[in-house]
Every structure is written in structure tokens, then in C-alpha cells.
């Protein structure tokens, strides 16, 4: 990200807390994160303007190499410039389907739907929108200096077999759909039955194949994944997270799909399962995912876990809980408006307590990451809540940034 982008990242740091990964968690224990305000102010600010003073919910985001952040908000797509100004780019605010000039475009993004998969993916050829309600991948891009929206893939009636190619608009996607794009501009589309590759020029789509058999609940049964969100690293690998079944999958540049993390678990044993080797760890209905740009780690969040789980992207070692606050399902109270703000206590351990304090950062959803690998999270499912950082004060926004600091001793 350009240096100009870093200036506003630091300038809007109204409240900060350094979070350390516990020393017991292998060779990445030196990770350090700072919690900062980002956007959607508590008092519901205007739609645009300085990002830390702007209102508007956010469910997904991506970053381009110019230092801009693109945010999905309602049925809109917004942009945050490298100077920290938020403004509207696309959408009328009404659900529908319309391509053309961006301000006239319509989407059906499925916000607040349990299986409403949707995410944004930034690439050199545009910003790609997983428009689940329309069963299409849409593209936001500039033509003759003006923002336009077109349909990149989906909306057709053709069912494909592994290895088949077609025009992208001829294909029918099934179930939930998600998208990821590499730095070369290759778009990968995932649906419940498998994954597709779209050429960078958008002329052809190829159905690569179904999901790995190890993700099927029974032998001789084709796996079906409720893919919720995708991302890509700088090496050309892409990643998707599935909610029920609870898996993380990696697709390598050679088209091979790798069962990276997660497993099937009997309901009665779920709550006793914690971190461990990635394919032995259990994820409880994850809804979001973000990848470190260098391909070192995948961060998974959402569902019935209000924390962030770190997965080594190569599948070795162990997963670990980056933010230690426990699961609300086994907490003594469910956080809600009547309890007031959650409290982040620096360096404390344990779970949610009856007085409503949290002993670690609470995150209900990762909306994405920027080009430097900083994570952006939210607790926007409870509109009356924010978080209080002990020793620093109230976080002023419901969408916040986890800014990664260099590890101690790193060059």
C-alpha cells in the first residue's frame, strides 16, 4: 500500500490496544496486533467523508494496489481513498439486477441471510462482487474514466463437467457462491459443487472440478460446501471458507484443491474441541476469511465463535485462537444492548463473565483485509454495542481495524 495510505491509517487511531498471541502457540507467537477505530461511527455519521466519522454498515471489503479500500454496505459499494475519505461508487440501494453506469447498478447481496455468501475481491482487472442473490459474479471497473458494473460470470443455464469450458455468462452457479482473484487477474468462483477459473480477459470459464472427497460426510458422496468468502495471496493460491460443513480449502496455482482445515464433528462434542493440527481442528459455522498477502496464514472468523482463528496456510503446525474470548454458546451471558459495551481487558485470560466483560477482543465477522494484511472486523450484529479498550477508552466505531505490527526482532 502506498505511504499515503499509511498516514490516514495512523491518524484515525483513536483507541489502540496491543494484542499478543500467547507464547505457547508455536513459531508465530511474536505476532502483534493493534486495535483501532475504522468506520461506522456509534452515532451514525454521514454516508461519506472522513472514514472514521462515516456511518454505513460494512460486511465485506477488499484492497487494491493503489491504496484504496472497497466496501460492501447494504446494496452499495463504497470506496475509501488512500487519503481516508469514504464515498459511494456503485448501487442504488435497492435490490435488483442492473448492469451499466455504477450509480445506476443494482445488486442482491443477501445481507443478514444465514447463508448469504457475498464478498469483494480486488484484482488488476477490477473489483469483483459475489452477487449471490443474482447467482452472478459482477465486476466494478472504470471505462473512459467512469465507474461501470458488468456481469463477469453466471446467470446462464449451462451445467458443466470437470474440464469443460464455456463463455462465462452461459454458466449456472448453484447454492452459495464466492469469489477470489489473483494478482494476475485470474478469477476463481466457488459454489456448493466445486470451483471454476475465469480467464483474466473474461472470455472463458473452466469448471475445474468438485471439492476434495475428504470434505464429504460419507464415502462415495460428492462434497457440497456452503462457501461464504474467498481471498487470494500473492503467490497465486486462493482460499475459501465453508459454513456447515465447516472447512477451509486452498486452491493452488496448478488447480489442485487442498482440504486445508476443519473436520466433521458430532454435535455433542463440538464445544470441547479447540485448536490443533489444521485438519483436526473444528470451526463452528465460520462465515469469513482473510489471508496474509505473503501466503503465510489464513484467518477465519464468524458463526458461533466470536474470535479469530489462525490457520497456517501450508497446513502444518497448529491452528490457534488469535483473540481469546470464548464462544457465546458456552458463555454465562450472551452480549446484548442491555449489558452495554463489551470490555477488552489487555493481557487477561478467560471467557465472557456475567457482568458482560470480555477478556479478549470480540469479533463477529471479518470483513476482509487490506494490501498490507491488516484485518478488519465487526460486531455489527448487535447495533447497540461497541468495545471498551481498558486503559484507552471506547472504540468509536463498530467496524475496527487490527493493524499488524512487525514482530519483535524482525528486520
pLDDT of residue 90: 98
* pLDDT confidence bin for 345, thresholds 50/70/90: low
Q: Does pLDDT of 91 surpass 80?
A: yes
pLDDT of residue 260: 98
Compute the Cα dihedral for 78, 56, 118, 233 and give only its sign.
positive
Q: 3-state DSSP: the chain helix, strand, coil percent, rounded to 5? A: 10, 40, 50
pLDDT of residue 351: 47
Residue 209 has a CB neighbour count (10 Å cut-off) of 16
* pLDDT confidence bin for 302, thresholds 50/70/90: confident
Cell numbers placing 274: 479447540
pTM, two decimal places: 0.89
pLDDT tens track for 9-22: 433 343 445 555 54
The average pLDDT across 276-304 equals 90
Q: Does pLDDT of 24 surpass 50?
A: no
394 belongs to a structural domain: yes
pLDDT of residue 101: 98
Q: How far is the C-alpha of 217 from the C-alpha of 11, rounded, in Å?
A: 49
162 belongs to a structural domain: yes
Q: What CATH number does the domain containing 334 carry?
A: 2.120.10.30
95 belongs to a structural domain: yes
pLDDT of residue 121: 98
The average pLDDT across 339-350 equals 53
pLDDT of residue 355: 46
Count of domains observed in the chain:
1
Which element (helix H / strand E) includes 10?
helix 3-11
Q: Does pLDDT of 3 surpass 50?
A: no
Q: How many CA atoms lie within 13 A of 110 on its CB side?
A: 20
Mean pLDDT of the chain: 82
Nearest Cα to 187, choosing from 200, 173, 176, 206?
Answer: 200
Q: How far is the C-alpha of 121 from the C-alpha of 400, rounded, in Å?
A: 20
Q: What angle do CA 313, 314, 316 make, to 5 degrees?
A: 110
* pLDDT confidence bin for 369, thresholds 50/70/90: very high
Q: How far is the C-alpha of 164 from the C-alpha of 317, rounded, in Å?
A: 37
pLDDT of residue 257: 97
Range of the domain at 377: 3-405
For residues 70 and 285, the model is more confident at 70
Q: How far is the C-alpha of 116 from the C-alpha of 177, rounded, in Å?
A: 9
For residues 1 and 261, the model is more confident at 261
How far is residue 335 CA from its own chain's centroid?
A: 22
pLDDT of residue 329: 42
pLDDT of residue 379: 73
411 belongs to a structural domain: no
Q: Does pLDDT of 112 surpass 50?
A: yes
pLDDT of residue 364: 81
pLDDT tens track for 204-251: 999 999 999 999 988 888 899 999 999 999 999 999 999 989 999 999
410 belongs to a structural domain: no
pLDDT tens track for 318-336: 888 776 544 444 433 344 4
Amino acid at each position: 500500500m502506498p505511504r499515503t495510505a499509511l498516514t490516514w491509517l495512523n491518524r484515525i487511531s483513536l483507541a489502540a490496544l496491543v494484542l499478543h498471541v500467547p507464547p505457547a502457540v508455536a513459531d508465530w507467537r511474536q505476532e502483534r496486533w493493534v486495535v483501532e477505530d475504522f468506520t461506522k461511527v456509534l452515532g451514525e455519521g454521514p454516508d461519506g467523508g472522513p472514514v472514521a466519522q462515516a456511518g454505513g454498515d460494512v460486511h465485506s471489503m477488499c484492497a487494491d494496489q493503489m491504496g484504496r479500500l472497497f466496501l460492501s454496505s447494504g446494496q452499495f459499494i463504497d470506496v475509501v481513498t488512500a487519503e481516508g475519505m469514504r464515498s459511494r461508487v456503485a448501487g442504488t440501494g435497492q435490490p435488483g439486477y442492473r448492469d451499466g453506469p455504477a450509480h445506476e447498478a443494482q445488486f442482491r447481496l443477501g445481507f443478514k441471510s444465514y447463508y448469504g455468501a457475498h464478498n469483494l475481491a480486488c484484482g488488476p482487472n477490477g473489483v469483483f462482487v459475489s452477487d449471490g442473490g443474482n447467482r452472478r459474479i459482477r465486476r466494478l471497473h472504470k471505462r473512459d474514466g467512469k465507474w461501470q458494473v458488468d456481469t463477469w460470470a453466471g446467470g446462464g443455464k449451462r451445467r458443466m463437467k470437470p474440464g469443460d469450458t464455456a463463455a462465462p455468462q452461459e454458466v449456472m452457479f448453484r447454492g452459495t457462491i464466492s469469489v477470489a482473484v489473483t494478482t494476475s487477474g485470474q478469477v476463481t468462483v466457488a459454489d456448493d459443487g466445486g470451483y471454476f477459473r475465469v480467464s483474466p480477459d473474461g472470455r472463458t470459464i473452466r469448471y475445474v472440478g468438485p471439492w476434495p472427497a475428504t470434505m464429504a460426510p460419507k464415502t462415495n458422496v460428492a462434497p457440497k460446501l456452503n462457501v461464504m468468502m474467498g481471498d487470494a495471496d500473492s503467490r497465486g493460491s486462493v482460499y475459501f471458507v465453508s459454513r456447515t460443513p465447516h472447512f477451509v480449502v486452498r486452491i493452488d496455482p496448478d488447480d489442485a484443491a487442498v482440504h486445508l482445515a476443519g473436520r466433521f464433528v458430532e454435535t455433542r462434542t463440538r464445544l470441547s474441541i479447540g485448536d490443533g493440527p489444521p485438519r483436526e481442528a473444528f470451526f463452528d459455522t465460520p462465515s469469513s476469511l482473510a489471508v496474509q498477502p505473503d501466503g503465510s496464514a489464513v484467518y477465519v472468523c464468524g458463526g458461533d465463535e466470536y474470535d479469530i482463528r489462525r490457520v497456517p496456510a501450508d497446513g502444518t503446525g497448529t491452528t490457534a485462537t488469535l483473540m481469546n474470548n470464548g464462544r457465546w454458546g458456552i458463555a454465562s451471558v450472551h452480549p446484548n444492548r442491555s449489558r452495554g459495551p463489551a470490555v477488552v481487558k489487555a493481557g487477561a485470560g478467560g471467557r465472557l463473565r456475567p457482568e458482560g466483560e470480555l477478556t479478549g477482543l470480540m469479533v463477529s465477522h471479518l470483513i476482509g483485509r487490506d494490501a498490507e494484511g491488516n484485518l478488519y472486523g465487526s460486531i455489527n450484529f448487535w447495533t447497540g454495542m461497541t468495545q471498551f479498550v481498558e486503559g484507552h477508552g471506547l472504540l468509536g466505531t463498530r467496524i475496527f481495524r487490527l493493524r499488524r505490527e512487525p514482530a519483535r526482532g524482525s528486520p
